[in-house]
Amino acid sequence: MRIEIRNGRLVDPAQGVDRIGSLFVGDGVIEGFVERPRSFEADRVIDATGCVVSPGFVDLAARLREPGLEHKATLESELAAAAAGGVTSLACPPDTDPPLDEPGLVQMLKHRARQIGIAHVYPVGALTVGLKGTTLTEMGELTEAGCVAFSQADEPVNDTLMLQRALQYAGTFGHRVWLRPQDPFLAQGGIAHDGEVATRLGLPGIPVAAETLALAKLFGLVRSTGVGVHLCRLSSAAGVEMVRAAKGEGLPITCDVDVHHLHLCDIDIGWFDARANLMPPLRSTRDREALQRGVQDGTIDAICSDHAPVDEDGKQVPFGEAAPGASALELLLPLTLQWAAALQISLGDALARITTKPASILGLEVPSLATGMPADVCVFDPTQPWTVRAEALRSQGKNTPFLGLEVVGRMRATLLGGHVVHES
Amino acid sequence: MTRNPQLNRNGELTHLLTLEGLPYEIVTQILDTAEPFVSIAEREVKKVPLLRGKAMFNLFFENSTRTRTTFEIAAKRLSADVINLNIGVSSTSKGETLLDTVDNLCAMNADLFVVRHSQSGAPHLIASHLNATGRTHVHVVNAGDGRHAHPTQGLLDLYTIRHYKKEFRDLTVAIVGDILHSRVARSLIHGLTTMQVPRVRVIGPRTLLPTAVEALGVEVVNDMREGLRGCDVVVMLRLQNERMKGALLPSAGEYFKHYGLTAEKLALAKPDAIVMHPGPMNRGVEIDSTVADGARSVILPQVTFGIAVRMAVLSIVAGN
């Protein structure tokens, strides 16, 4: 099938291009950028007038809940959500049940995802067996099975010597280790940002120091081992400042923030709204502003969804008993656009945070609309408003703190390897 | 932010979940309503028919004898039918969710739930669920949720203060002890600031004070002697046993030395200062017996007023 995506606004961060034109897709790859290739005859034309055409998005954290947590979501439901959100490549954290600590599990996941065939799935392997922080996984085998990086998801490695060895061993195979910076002792029992809101509501707090101490420890280990670390889900202004300084020092680190922390703060908990129970906790308005600025100046490399579908039963309980997390694959674009609009950032620069930058963290070929590149492409209307409602989400998890809010930016079509995998 | 579910669209109290944000007028209405109820207890027939035919469920997910009993007495004096559920050994231990339990009891035509839960916000969840499902005739009264709130305790504390001090506007009130884990302290602080008490001090070691507690409108004092100076009201908080085992405090003895209320420390407060305690007391840990049983202690009147205040709350909430 040859597809002509006609007369769209072609925004390609990799080429630094933003212009009106058509894209010619055939046989899995982009055959023509603006220029119609000789003898190209479209089987199908997608009219992209008024729409943006960009490379498919790359999400650094999307939980698909398989294996083991199918009551929350399945690969089918969540990959459909990815396609509906324009996400063509996603990394899934190892916190499944059992965790992704064995090659067989990873192969099965890759196999299932390929069969469904609507998004590329890149498993992040468990750094330690069972994510327990005590025994190294077979990272060599896991790499061969398809793991692109290693992580503890939200679980800690309490023992610093163990953590150092995990970095060294992952480094042996050329991997960066992905870690969410949080001191497990300071975070113990906490469910909300340790500040005025938590004090008012009587919710046990997690102080900012839990993040800054973990960062200081990790930077020390990065210096001593030389192994790079990707920092997941930064949450505080002090954390952003430390990452800025560490990057200035030249440490091999990268960093992401999720869409929730870019837009929400602890005040959004309201009267114990369990949908705002997220990990790391939503912090203060000051922290949120620092995160927004951090993405703008490149201290934070990428924006991710931190998609974590939770079933209704997981949220219809008191705040402290709720399962943390929210569905966000379908909100990655609108919330990135909202960030860009608030800080007056160009569309190309905004899309880089969800395409080229995360791709380079994942070690993927830099996504682009250039001729010869894989035809993973999004077509979206950047001005169309829509309201986030449970029935509007493809994800099996209908919980998001953005429910009821109007956002802007609607996917019209998503192509994976030249095939239309989503249309609306 | 979402609307506090305890007020209906007309601004009337349909659930009592927290004293935070409760208007001055409603607090005053509750205290005024409680006054005549105090004397009912002294009558030969200790009953009024205000809640006749209503079914009140005591839904206690956490142990309590005193609070549950006072709610039960209050409801019975209002002629309500009272059903006590010992949840610890029934439904939730079989895996039933909180809201399933509530739905089942609603199907038994419950009119009022008095809820105690170890999780902050559990009564809010129930009230929001009832509001969202159109059951606005069913009411929730928070009898203590996690560290968050214990609004009827806060109200009975306000009643006691008003009874002995008449006016709120010139008072200095000290709250001493484990503020961090205390729902009693949080509710009292909100109540006192609503009633425009100009000086509210919280006194305790830093391990037992919440982050940014000043934002609630209080002064923080670490030295108890300094904090008690010039106080009209001293509220001592219960120190739970598990807090004394070394992680937050080194020992009960050291705590008593620095934060226990003795006659000598009380002498630093105003000569007519009253001493309050939500109970149950740990004599010799947070309060010395000579003070607890002394002339300035109003700890037992607090209990008596507590029943009248709970009668007032139940009758107002059920009437809206």
Would you list the domain boundaries of chain A? Answer: 3-53+372-423, 55-362
Q: Residue B95: what pLDDT?
A: 73
Closest Cβ opposite residue B215 in set A196, A270, A321: A196
What would the mean pLDDT of A101-111 be, rounded to a whole number?
Answer: 97
Maximal CA-CA distance, chain A: 69
Element (H, E) at B300: helix B299-319
Q: Which residue of B has its CA nearest to A274?
A: B125
Q: What is the pLDDT of residues A181-234, one digit of tens each?
A: 999 999 999 999 999 999 999 999 999 999 999 999 999 999 999 999 999 999
User: Given an 8 Å threshold on Cβ–Cβ distance, is B211 in contact with A316?
Assistant: no
CB contact at 8 A, A357 and A301: yes
A12 is catalytic: no
CA of A51, closest CA in chain B: separation in Å?
34
Interface list for B 104-163 with A (CB within 8 A): 117, 119-122, 124-125, 128-129, 145-149
Give the pLDDT band (50/70/90) at residue B88.
low
Q: Which residues in chain A have Cβ-Cβ distances shorter than 8 Å to B98?
A: 317-318
Preceding peptide of A309 cis, ω within 30°: no
Q: Which residue of B has its CA nearest to A193?
A: B211
Phi (first) and psi of residue B315, to 5 degrees: -70, -35
> Would you say the CATH fold of A55-362 matches that of A3-53+372-423?
no
CATH number belonging to the domain at A3-53+372-423, selected among 2.70.150.10, 2.30.40.10, 3.30.420.40, 2.60.40.3500 = 2.30.40.10
Tokens encoding B240: 């739970």
What is the layout of strands, in order, in the sheet containing B55-60? B81-86, B55-60, B112-117, B139-145
How buried is A27 (Cβ within 10 angstroms: 0-12 exposed, 13-18 middle, 19+ buried)? exposed
Q: What is the pLDDT of residues B281-293, one digit of tens each?
A: 999 999 999 999 9
Of A17, A81, A48, A67, the C-alpha closest to A328 is A81
Closest Cβ opposite residue A201 in set B117, B120, B128: B120
Q: Residue B1: what pLDDT?
A: 43
Of A264, A407, A387, A392, the C-alpha closest to A335 is A407
Q: Which residues in chain A have Cβ-Cβ distances shorter than 8 Å to B2?
A: 270-271, 273
Q: Which of B211, B213, B216 to mutate to test the interface with A (most CBs of A within 10 A)?
A: B211
Q: Residue A124: what pLDDT?
A: 98
| Domain spanning A55-362, CATH class | alpha beta
Q: What is the pLDDT of residues A41-84, one digit of tens each?
A: 999 999 999 999 999 999 999 999 999 998 889 999 999 999 99
What would the mean pLDDT of A384-412 be, rounded to a whole number?
Answer: 96
Closest Cβ opposite residue A201 in set B4, B148, B213: B148
Write out the E strands in chain B.
55-60, 81-86, 112-117, 139-145, 172-176, 199-203, 219-221, 233-236, 274-276
CA of A403, closest CA in chain B: separation in Å?
13
Of A394, A261, A256, the C-alpha closest to A324 is A261
pTM equals 0.95
The ipTM of this complex is 0.94
CA of A316, closest CA in chain B: separation in Å?
8
